Structure formats: C-alpha cells, structure tokens
Amino acid sequence: MNVRTIRPVKGLKGEVTIPGDKSISHRSIMLGSIALGTTEITHFLEGADCLSTIDCFRRMGVEIERKPSCILVHGKGLRGLTAPASTLNVGNSGTTTRLISGILSGQNFATTLSGDASLNSRPMKRIMTPLNSMGAHITSLNDNDCAPLRIEPGELHGIHYQSPVASAQVKSAVLLAGLYAEGPTSVTEPALSRNHTELMLQGFGACVATDLHTDGTATAHVEPCKELFGQQICVPGDISSAAYFIAAALLVPGSELLVRNVGTNFTRAGFLKVCKDMGADIETVSQTFEGGEGRADLLVRHSRLKGTVIEGDTIPTLIDEIPMIAVMAAFAEGQTVIKDAAELKVKETNRIDTVTAGLKTMGADITPTDDGMIIEGTGHLGGASIQSYLDHRIAMAFSIAGLAADGETQIIDSQCVDVSYPEFYATLNLIGI
Ligand code: S3P
C-alpha cells in the first residue's frame, strides 16, 4: 500500500505543462498499428493505460519504438496483424479493451482479452451487442458480459447502431469494426461523445462523417476501407489531467497558475464551461489548432466558486472530470446538482459511490442520487484519510482537495495515478506544495 500525505498550501504559482491526452494517445497507437507506413507520435502519454495498448499491438507483431522524443509505430496495414501467442493483457484500460475489440473483430485469428480486477468487472455487453450484430464472434468467458473476452474470426457487415449510451468507447469500437465490414456502418448516440476517433480516422485516410441532429443526438458514419496511411501526430495535453491543476489554482487562495497545452476539443471542454459557470477566473492566453484538435494555454487565478447544475448533453463532455468538479462544488457557495450521469457507475470504480465516500469523510454535505449527486457547498473540507479504491481520478481529485482542506490528508494507494498521469505528484511539488 502506498500512502501520500497532502498538506494545505498557500499560493500555487508558476506554470504546468499538461501531458498528452490519453484518448488520443491510445488511438494513435491503434490507428498507427493498422495503417501502412510509419506513424510518428510526439507528446504521447506514457501512462500505464497507453502502455497496455502498446503491449497489445506489439504482441500482434507491430514494431513500436519508444524514442526519447517520440513514439514510432511501424504499421502493418489493415490486415497485417498476427495472432498473439497468449492472452492480451489490457490492464486497467477500458479504452484499450473496447476499442481493440472493434479492430480484433475484423481479424482472421482469434484473441483473448483480459485485465485487472476493476477492468474485468466493467460492462462489455455494450460493445459485444453491436459488434456481434455486425457478424463478430465475441463471448464473455465467464458468461457475465465482462472480460475476459474471446474474439473469434467473423465476416463483418455494416450496420446502423442506435447506441443507448453516449459513449465514445462504444462508438469507436463500432466505427473501427466498420473499417473491416462489407457496406457502410453508422452509430447514433443520444448525445455527442468525444470525437477523436472520427477526426483521427479522417486524418489516416478513412471516409468518415458526422451528422449533428437538432435534437442533440449525433450520428457518425464510416465506409469500409482498403488501407489507412501512417501520420505524424502531436498529441495535445489532456484536459482531464489539466482539470486537477486548474481546480488546484481555483481552490487554493493566492494562486496564479499558467496551465499550458490544454486540449480544448469541444467534445471534451465541458469542464472549462462549468468552471466559468461556477465563477472561475480563467484567461485564455493563447489558442492553436492542429489535426482538428484545439489546444490552449490558460491562466488560472484563485476564485470564489458558486454552485451550478450540470446535466444532459454536457455530461459526456466532462464525464471524467466529475470527481474533481464534485470536490470544487464542496468548496463552493451554494448547491451543485449533477444529473444524467449514471455512466459514472461503470468507470474504473462506481464514481457516484467513491466520490460520495471521499467527500463524506472530509465532512462535505453530499447526497448520492441514481444518476449523479447533490452537493451543498460549505466553503471548506477537513483533511482525512481517503481511499483511492485504486481509481486514478479519485486519487487525484482528493489530492487537490487536500491542498485546500483544513489539516492533513492521506491518499491511500496513490500510485494508481500512474494509469493516466505518472508525473502528477512530481508536478504538484514543482508548483509549490
Ligand atoms: C474514453 C471515453 C470515455 C472516458 C474514458 C476514455 C475514450 O468513456 O470515460 O476515460 O478514450 O474513448 P465512455 O466513452 O465509455 O464514456
């Protein structure tokens, strides 16, 4: 067990450069592996989840070089992967599992996927249903709709899938399988989820389009593809990682922090909108675009926050930031209501439960609901011993809570931050804790 002690601090100053986006890093390895030619990836996130993706593709014959300044993926083409010698280990990574299942459904060899205890308890029926209806042969080895998954070769045909959830992982699994299918494939989701797969597939030469409907639903289309072509990818900073430092500067009195290289793709930027709704002082110092992805440097100053309501189409744009937002809400003035967020229950932990447990331990007034939580902001939290439940986002959100709390906070099993942000604590130390 690894315990990290966090003490309250005075003012956070200086600047932080945000590491690469986890979603884009995963996709750059996956698409690079099934493209022809070499894909060069800079600012790749070397977190445990993305390393799981690298390991899976290496074990299917892809040469992936980790250089000091970049990752080189020597792609095998759409049909060039080879059968792995044993089970592919997906670790803690839901993104690896669900997206790779789309690719593996189109291969002419069988594979088995398995991960850690958390991963093997997360729902996989959400991808098995659409992929099997395309002609894939995916079974849950323990017959519980969870991994380990066995994927046998199948002939794929395009479908239109009406997804019951706004999930980029489900959408991406179906679109990736669509590359291998006969006929076009499309996915309609109840609200637009992150669109990195669509943007990147386009960059790699696939024929992809998205329709945004007036009722808030969205449909992504993909055509079957002969080949993809290797690309140069500069991964923007992960807004989900930036959220911790933005929140830290907002919550700790006297702070003024420059947060550099924050990905601002509109399908991910809900956290920034909610911060503004809560009264945050965040100034965009510069903004650039590359490969369809925006990135910005943000100057964040300590602010008095007020409660807000977060619901509906906004939820998919900040789903991973909700633990951090809940902590901010506890420090704010007034009530915050988070609803339409039942997806929180199927993340690395049930985050309605794990956020509630942590905030209650720190003395917050929080009521869990079936699809979110209600928090009565009291302006302060008390330091406490907090279980991370091995969930990286719980560990990081409560570490930030500890910076602004009264007294000392301990984070139990804090090493789980390695999943998405291995330098998290080193970076906190740099800016003055
Ligand atoms: C991800 C999508 C989200 C998010 C996860 C990464 C992705 O999951 O929670 O951390 O890279 O596609 P869902 O799309 O299932 O909501």
pLDDT tens digits, one per residue of 294-315: 999 999 999 999 999 999 999 9
Residue 255 Cα to ligand 1 middle (Å) = 31
Give the pLDDT confidence score for residue 433 in this predicted structure. Answer: 66
The secondary element (H helix, E strand) that includes residue 372 is strand 372-378
Residue 362's Cβ-count burial label (10 Å; 0-12, 13-18, 19+) is buried
3-state secondary structure (DSSP) of residue 14: strand
Measured from CB, residues less than 6 Å from any atom of ligand 1 are 23, 95, 167-169, 172, 193-194, 319-320, 343
Euclidean distance between the first and final Cα of the chain, in Å? Answer: 23
The secondary element (H helix, E strand) that includes residue 325 is helix 322-331
pLDDT tens, 233-273?
Answer: 999 999 999 999 999 999 999 999 999 999 999 999 999 99
**What is the model's pTM?**
0.98
The tokens for 72 are 């080189």
Could you tell which of 119, 194, 313, 419 is best to mutate to test the pocket of ligand 1, judged by most ligand atoms within 8 Å of the CB?
194
Q: Give the type of residue at 199.
A: L
pLDDT tens, 128-167?
Answer: 999 999 999 999 999 999 999 999 999 999 999 999 999 9
At which residue do the structure tokens 């911060």 appear? 275
The tokens for 213 are 């409907």
413 is catalytic: no
Considering the four listed CATH numbers 1.10.3720.10, 3.40.50.720, 3.65.10.10, 3.30.1360.120, the one that applies to the domain covering 3-20+236-430 is: 3.65.10.10
266 contacts 212 by C-beta, under 8 angstroms: no
Residue 217 Cα to ligand 1 middle (Å) = 17
- 3-20+236-430 and 22-234 have identical folds: yes
Q: Is 320 known to sit in a ligand binding site?
A: yes
Q: Is 169 known to sit in a ligand binding site?
A: yes
At which residue do the structure tokens 């083409």 appear? 77
334 contacts 358 by C-beta, under 8 angstroms: no
Residue 23 Cα to ligand 1 middle (Å) = 7
**What is the dotted CATH code of the domain comprising 22-234?**
3.65.10.10
Mean pLDDT of 164-181: 98
Smallest CA separation from ligand 1 atom 4, residue = 320
Neighbouring C-alpha atoms within 13 Å toward the C-beta of 148: 11
Domain coordinates in residue numbering, the chain: 3-20+236-430, 22-234
